[in-house]
Chains A and B, each alone.
Chain A
Amino acid sequence: MTIDLSQWHPIASSSDLPLRHVYQAQLHGREFAVWRADDQYVNVWENRCLHRGVRLSVGLNDGKELKCLYHGWRYSNRSAGCTYIPAHPADAPARTICNRTYPGVEEKGLVWSAVDPAGDFELPEVLKGCDPLVLRPIPLNAAPGLALSRLADLKLEGGTSRQIASTGSYSHLAFDGLDLPELVLFVQPVDAHRCVLRGVLKAVPADPAGTLRQFNTALNRLRTLIEAAAAEAPAPEPIAVDFRPIDEELASMPEISRSGPKAELRVTVARKWETSEGVAAFRLEPLSGALPTFQPGAHIDVHLPNGMARQYSITNGPGEGGHYTIAVKREPDSRGGSECLHNAVQTGDVLAISAPRNNFPLRRDAVKVTLVAGGIGITPMLAMARALDAQGIAFELHYFAQSKAHLSFPELLNELGDSVVTHLGLNPAETSAKLNEILADYGFARHLYICGPGPMLEATRDVAAKQGWPDEAVHFEYFKNTQEIDDSSTFEVALARSAMTLQVPAGKTILEVLQENGIEAPSSCEQGACGTCLATVIEGEPDHQDVYLTPTEKAAGDKIITCVSRSKSNRLVLDI
C-alpha cells in the first residue's frame, strides 16, 4: 500500500494538550512533539532536538518556549528556532538552527496534521457544523488499511450499527435502535503496522460520561477483533524514516554572513500607536507565513520609504513569534529616519525589514542581571527583562526617563512588577548618584546591560568600573556613534582565508573595500555602533573608532569593527 503523505489526519485530541504539557504523537512512522503555547498556538515539531537527537516530548514547555532536557537549548513557540544555547551563554545562536515543523490545526476537539500537505487544512465535510464529543483514542497493533476495512464491525449493545459512508481515512456510522449521535471514526496511521482509532460523535449526547464508557467498551472489542485479524498476516516492516540533514553551514559552525544591510522580509504595520511622549510603537506582522526567530537584544534593519535603513531593537517577549514590535523616538535633529516613521508610515503600510540580528546577546548564566535603560534605550532592555522574567532569573530593570508620561510600554512594565524601578526627571548628578547606589554590590556571576543615550551610557560604564564590575560583566549598546570618525589613513588589508590583499584609501572604510571586492561582509548600522561587521584581527594594530567593543577588547587588539575602524600599522591581517 502506498502512503499518501499529503493527507491530513487527526494526531491528538485537544485534551491531550493541557497547560504546559508536551504530547508525543505519531504519523506515518514519524514522531512529533506537540505542544500548546500560552498564546494557544499548537506547535507540531519533529520529536528530536537538533543538537543530540533527544526527544523533545521529554522537554519542558514553559508556555513560550520548549526547553530540551539534555542541554537546556530553548526553541521558540511558532518558529521553532533556537533562541539560547546555555553552553555558550555569550553567543547568540545562528537563527538558522530551527527544528523541523509540521502544520498543526486544532478543530472540532482534535489536532490535525500532515507530513507533507498539498494545501491548507480543510475540515472533512462530515464534521462541518457539528458540536462534537471526542472519544478516547484506541491504539491498535494493525495496519491502518486493515483497520479501515473493519470499522463497520463496531457493535454496541442493544442496537445495530450502519455504515453511512467510508473513505480512505474514516468511516461514518449510525446506530439504529439507540439514542446516540452519529459517529465519525478516523484511523490515524501511526506506522505500517500500527494505528489509532479516533472517534468523534457528531453531537454531545444526553449522558456524555456514560456514552464515553459505552464507546470505550465497544471500541476495545473492535480492537481485539482487528488485532486478531492482523495477527494472522505477517506484520509489515516499520516505515523507514529519514531525518533531514541540518544546513551545511551549521555542520561546521561558521557564522552566516551576507553583505550589507538586508531587506529579506516584508511586513505590514498592523498597529501604530503612541506608547509614550514622542515615542511611536509599531507592531509589524508578516504578510504571509511566519517571522524568523529573534533573541532578546536583537535588532532589525527597517528600510524606510525615503530610502533610508535604520536599526531598531525588538521588544518582544519569548515565544511572541507572530509579530515584531519596535519603538521609535521622534528626534528633532533626526537624519530623517524617525521623522519618516512618525509622519509618513501608517497602519496598513508595507515595509521591508531584515531578519533579526543579535549583536547584544543576553547571557543567562547569571545569578542576577541588572538592566539599565535610558529613554528609548528601554526597547532591548524590555525584551531582555521579559526573557529573564519568563525564565525565573533574578533581575532589576532600572528605567531612567524624564517623566511618567515618557515611560514607554507601561502595560508591559506593569507585568514585570517589582523588578522594574523607574527613575524620573533626574539631572546628571542625581543620575550618577543613583547609578552608584544601583551598582554598589557587584558579585560573582552578575551581569549589567545598558542601553541609552551616549552620555548616560558612558556615566553608567564609569560607575560600574569604579564599583569593581569587570569589563566582561558589562554589556552595552549605543544608539549611534557620535565620535568624529577620522578616515584619513591609508593602509593595506590582507585577508587570511580569502588569500587577498586590498588597499584601503583615505575616505573609504575597510567594509566598503571588502564589499567592492566581492567579499561577503555583513553590515547593518555602518557607523560603528551595532557590531554586525565585526572581524578578527590576526596581525597588525587596529585604530578603533567604534563604540561597540569594550576597552578590554580594544586593548586586546584582536577584533575590529570594519565599518569605521582603521589601522595604525601599515598592514592589517584579518581572518576573513
Chain B
Amino acid sequence: MTHTKCTDPVVLEQWHPLISDRELADLGEFRTTLLERPLTIKHGARGIATVTADGPGASPKVLQQYGYVWASFGQDPNSLFPFPEFEEPDRRFVPTGVFGVNVSAGRAVENFLDMGHFPYVHTGILGEEPHTEVKEYDVEVSETRDEVVATRCRFYQPKAALASDEGADVEYTYRVPHPNCALLYKSSPADPSRRDVIYLFLQPMGEEWVRAHTGMCILDEDNTDESIRYFQQVIFGQDKPILENQHPKRLPLDPRAETPIRADKTAIAYRRWLSQKGLTYGVISVAA
C-alpha cells in the first residue's frame, strides 16, 4: 500500500518524469517530490537510477527512457508514449531546463498547446501584434494511440527563419500523448522536410505545483546547447508569471467554467479527454 496523498488511479498508473539522466549524472543524488511525496534519486553504476521514498511507504517503480528518470506508484503502470524522433541518430537532444511553477499540470499543458498568447506573452519572438489571428486547424483524439493531436496549426512568427527579418506563418503540430506531457513539432530551418520537436514533461509535485521539464530534439548544426537553452529559458520565463496568475490553479473540466473560442479547440479536446479518462488529480471535475 502506498502512502501518497494522491488517490487518483489514472494519475498513479502513469509514469512521471523526475530528472534528466544528464542532470542526475552531474549531481549523483537528487531529492524531489512526486504527488506530495518526497523521493531520493541516486545515480548508480552504468547510469542505472534508483528511486527511494523518504519516509514510510513503498518506493515507486522506475523507468529510464527518452533521457529522463520516470517513476510510478502504480501497480502496473501504463507504458510510456512513443517518441520515435528521440531515437533518430542525427538529432540533437537538448534538455533546456526545469522550472518550478505554482500551477496544476493541466494548466501548464494547455499553455503549451496555445498559440493565441504568442503575440502577447512572447512578443517579438513567437508572435507580434497586430498579427493575432489563430487560423482554423484540425484536432482529433486518436483512438488507436489514445492521444490528442492538433494538425495544420499555423501562426505568424515575426522572424520565421534565422536568416530573415521577414515574418511568415509557421506550421505546428501538437501531440498530447500523456495527461501531463505534450510535444510540439515545428518545421526545421535546417531541413524543411523534417520537423524539430519541443517537449514539455510535467512532474506533478502536488495538485497545484509542478516541475516543468523542457527540451528539444532538433536538427541544428548552428546553435550551441547554451544558446538553445537560453532561448527556452526566455520563453518559459515569460509563461511562468501568467501560469501562476491563473485562478483557479487547478484545471476546470466543466465546459461552462471558462469561455472557449474556436482557437481553443485543442484545449477543449484535451479537457474532454481528461474527463473521459476520469482523471481527478489537479483538475476541478465536472459536478455530477
Q: Do A and B bind each other?
A: yes
Chain A residues with a Cβ under 8 A of chain B: 31, 47-48, 50-55, 58, 69-72, 85-90, 97, 243, 245-248, 250-253, 364-367, 393, 445
Contact present for B130 and A88 (CB under 8 Å): no
Contact present for A253 and B246 (CB under 8 Å): no
With contacts A86-B116, A365-B133 taken as known, whether A251 is within 8 angstroms of B246 at the C-beta atoms is: no
Contact present for A58 and B116 (CB under 8 Å): no
Q: Which of B27-35, B53-61, B89-97, B251-259 touches A?
A: B251-259
A250 to B261: give the CA distance in the assembly, Å: 9
With contacts A253-B261, A253-B262 taken as known, whether A445 is within 8 angstroms of B242 at the C-beta atoms is: no
**In the complex, chain B residues whose CB is within 8 Å of the CB of A366:** 130
Whether B124 is near chain A, meaning CB under 8 Å from some CB there, is no
From B119, B131, B259, give the contact of A97 (CB < 8 A).
B259
From A85, A245, A364, A445, give the contact of B261 (CB < 8 A).
A85
Query: Number of A-B pairs whose CB atoms are under 8 Å?
Result: 97
Whether B134 is near chain A, meaning CB under 8 Å from some CB there, is yes
A441 to B259: give the CA distance in the assembly, Å: 39
Contact present for B247 and A252 (CB under 8 Å): no
With contacts A70-B117, A71-B116 taken as known, whether A245 is within 8 angstroms of B130 at the C-beta atoms is: no
**In the complex, chain A residues whose CB is within 8 Å of the CB of B259:** 50-51, 97, 246, 250-251
Whether B44 is near chain A, meaning CB under 8 Å from some CB there, is no
Whether B120 is near chain A, meaning CB under 8 Å from some CB there, is yes
Whether B38 is near chain A, meaning CB under 8 Å from some CB there, is no
Query: Could you list 18 further interchain pairs (A-B, Cβ under 8 angstroms) beyond the known A54-B246, A246-B259, A252-B255?
Result: A50-B258, A52-B110, A53-B247, A53-B248, A54-B245, A69-B242, A70-B120, A71-B117, A72-B120, A88-B263, A89-B132, A245-B254, A245-B257, A250-B256, A251-B259, A364-B130, A365-B131, A365-B133
Contact present for B133 and A54 (CB under 8 Å): no
Contact present for A445 and B258 (CB under 8 Å): no
In the complex, what's the smallest C-beta–C-beta distance from A58 to chain B, in angstroms? 5
Contact present for B120 and A51 (CB under 8 Å): no
**In the complex, chain B residues whose CB is within 8 Å of the CB of A54:** 242, 245-247
**In the complex, chain A residues whose CB is within 8 Å of the CB of B258:** 50-53, 246
Cβ contacts A to B, 23 pairs, < 8 Å = A48-B247, A52-B258, A53-B247, A54-B246, A55-B246, A58-B241, A58-B242, A69-B242, A70-B117, A70-B120, A71-B116, A71-B120, A72-B120, A86-B119, A87-B261, A87-B262, A89-B133, A245-B256, A246-B256, A250-B259, A251-B259, A366-B130, A445-B131
Chain B residues with a Cβ under 8 A of chain A: 110, 115-117, 119-121, 129-134, 241-242, 245-248, 252, 254-263
A471 to B262: give the CA distance in the assembly, Å: 23
**In the complex, chain A residues whose CB is within 8 Å of the CB of B115:** 87
**In the complex, chain B residues whose CB is within 8 Å of the CB of A69:** 120-121, 242
**In the complex, chain A residues whose CB is within 8 Å of the CB of B245:** 54-55, 58
A54 to B259: give the CA distance in the assembly, Å: 12
Contact present for A86 and B257 (CB under 8 Å): no
Contact present for A445 and B130 (CB under 8 Å): yes
With contacts A70-B120, A253-B260 taken as known, whether A47 is within 8 angstroms of B134 at the C-beta atoms is: no
Contact present for A87 and B131 (CB under 8 Å): no
A58 to B238: give the CA distance in the assembly, Å: 13
**In the complex, chain A residues whose CB is within 8 Å of the CB of B242:** 54, 58, 69-70
**In the complex, chain A residues whose CB is within 8 Å of the CB of B120:** 69-72, 86
